[in-house]
Chain A
Amino acid sequence: MKTIIETNNINKSYGAVTALHDINITVNDGEIFGLIGPDGAGKTSLIRILTTLILPDNGSANVLGLDIINDFKSIRNEIGYMPGRFSLYQDLTVEENLKLFATIFGTTIEENYDLVKPIYSQIESFKNRKAGQLSGGMKQKLALSCALIHKPKLLILDEPTTGVDPVSRKEFWDMLKDLKKAGITILVSTPYMDEASLCDRVALIQGGKILSVSTPQSIIDAFPKKLYSISADNMHKLIIALRNFEFSNTVFTFGETVHYTDRRNSVIQTGEIMKYLQNNDLKEIKINEINAGIEDCFMEMM
């Protein structure tokens, strides 16, 4: 298995704020690697270090076998990068933007059209429209086309789906899957925990520290407690009742149910919880033991 990205104890501070603390991750050839964490976790700082836009305070990293400090120019030529904010030229047309990126990387649209075609063809009918006048979804497709036009081996995307509705998010991940099939390694960051399952491996990151690096399944399998999904007729009353229950450990809402863990490690009598909730005037109570999701795991590690 070839290593595409490797970091060794990367640290980065901004004044008194530690943005990254001893970051060690390895991204393998051909995988989709997800950097999963909320705003302020350090995702963008790490990505900007790997794309050679900022320097780490200490630590080292290799990208495609090149050193992020000594070989920064080569790295910039080799990778495709889609920053978090829309970074294209608003006053150039769709086609002009793509042409510009192709020219900068010493290639042409025609030469690599095969790779961008599935994405670019969706916006090609607007090729004479200024980029600034595109809808959010179309801007995203153009930015991705521009990041791919020089046929990079590694694609780095900083929060491509933030603020994007669930339908467009799904479509974007479908595009990433196709790019993976074309042999491109992908490093992608996201604040949406549910996108973890779409990655081959993920790093959960919070407060500048990596909480865990593994496949989504092994992170889920390592959840240390029994987890229960509880629902009742009144959500808010249910949450308050469970929080006041003497053995409650964590009480988190998940859609129409509450995910509950108990402070006791022994086998839990769900009948006892049921009775307690009934005594608190709750009705239609359902209690089921369930498997954890990535979001449960993330909160457990926070």
Chain B
Amino acid sequence: MEAPNIVIKVENLTKKFGNFIAVNNISFEVYKGEIFGFLGANGAGKSTAMKMLCGLWLPTSGNAKIAGYDIYKETELIKKKIGYMSQKFSLYEDLTVAENIRFYAGIYGLSNQQIEAKTNELLSKLGIEELRNSLIKSLPLGWKQKLAFSVAIIHDPEIVFLDEPTGGVDPITRRQFWDLIYDASNRGVTVFVTTHYMDEAEYCDRISMMVAGKIEALDKPSILKQNYGVSTMDEVFLKLARG
């Protein structure tokens, strides 16, 4: 097997708030096209780490390269190469579907022609051509989430960061959402995802487990289960987080 292409390289990354060490000397690599699950209990430091990787917060110490760019000096270049979606903030409720697509595509610098083509492609792929001119607030949550994901990768980023993308959505939509993730990953987009659903952890190629600011485990789900002598990721999580 050829050496995998590294798209995220993190070395001894640390973030302190006063005396509190939110992220404590973490190091890991993420490969191109991989679905990488970033797990941990509430307060373990996931959001802080993710904000640094997205170029939003500077680290206290340590290094990281995202899509080849440095998280200290090249944060604006990083932002062009990544997509981001969270459960809390996704789309503008009082704009239509097409207006939201136009807005985000415009921010990422797509031309009018590209925007037109991308809009049609995206609506037909999701099968929602008839919703083009509907306001976002009139859509069910499941559709919003699928649309938000599609918009987050509209500029063909190298990496997409998903922060609990499926929280609260119904079980069928949750699975349709993962179809979109697989699809993006097959096209070479690297997916960096956090979730509290342990069945979704199983869908990841590799998983890291953060406990109190440190990465305590990182491997394929099957190997983690084997190492901890358990049959589900839920049990791996309990063992690690309980210490």
Show the binding face of A for B, using Cβ within 8 Å: 37-41, 135-137, 162-168, 170, 191, 193, 206, 235-236, 239, 252-256, 295, 298-299, 302
Contact = CB atoms under 8 A, between A and B. Distances in A.
22 contacts: A37-B170, A38-B168, A38-B169, A163-B87, A163-B167, A165-B44, A165-B196, A166-B198, A166-B234, A166-B241, A170-B238, A191-B168, A235-B182, A235-B203, A236-B182, A239-B179, A253-B178, A255-B199, A255-B203, A256-B222, A298-B170, A302-B170
A292 B141 CA distance: 26
A298 B179 CA distance: 20
A254 B238 contact: no
Interface string B28-59: 00000000000011111000000000000000
Max chain B Cβ within 10 angstroms of own Cβ: one of A168, A235, A252, A253: A253
B16 to A, nearest CB: 17
Contacts of B237: 165-167
A168 B237 CA distance: 11
B232 interface: yes
A165 B141 contact: no
A137 B43 CA distance: 9
Contact of B42 (A165, A252, A295, A299): A165
Given A38-B168, A40-B141, A166-B238, 20 more contacts: A37-B170, A38-B169, A38-B170, A39-B169, A162-B167, A165-B40, A166-B234, A166-B237, A166-B241, A167-B41, A167-B238, A168-B41, A191-B168, A239-B179, A239-B182, A252-B172, A253-B199, A253-B203, A254-B199, A256-B202
A163 B43 CA distance: 12
A298 B199 contact: no
A253 B202 CA distance: 10
Contacts of B187: none
Interface residues of B, number: 36
The 7 tightest CB contacts between A and B, nearest first, are A38-B170, A39-B168, A255-B202, A255-B199, A165-B41, A167-B241, A256-B202
Given A136-B42, A166-B198, A170-B238, A252 B175 contact: yes
B73 interface: no
Contacts of B179: 239
Given A253-B175, A253-B203, A255-B199, A167 B242 contact: yes
Contacts of B83: none
A164 B172 contact: no
A37 B168 CA distance: 9
Contacts of A40: 140-141
B196 A163 contact: yes
Interface of B: 40-44, 87, 140-142, 164, 167-173, 175, 178-179, 182, 186, 196, 198-199, 202-203, 221-222, 232-234, 237-238, 241-242
A39 B141 contact: yes
Contacts of B186: 236
A164 B170 contact: no
A164 B203 contact: no
A206 B170 contact: yes
A288 to B, nearest CB: 14
A166 B196 contact: yes
A239 B183 CA distance: 12
B42 A298 contact: no
B241 A165 contact: yes
Contacts of A252: 171-172, 175
B172 A255 contact: no
Nearest to A206: B170
Contacts of B87: 163
Contacts of B40: 165
Contacts of A295: 171
A236 B33 CA distance: 14
Nearest to B179: A239
Nearest to A41: B170
Nearest to A136: B42
A165 B237 CA distance: 9
A164 B196 contact: yes
Nearest to A193: B171
Contacts of B164: 163
A54 B234 CA distance: 38
A167 B87 CA distance: 21
A252 B203 CA distance: 12
A89 to B, nearest CB: 22
A226 to B, nearest CB: 20
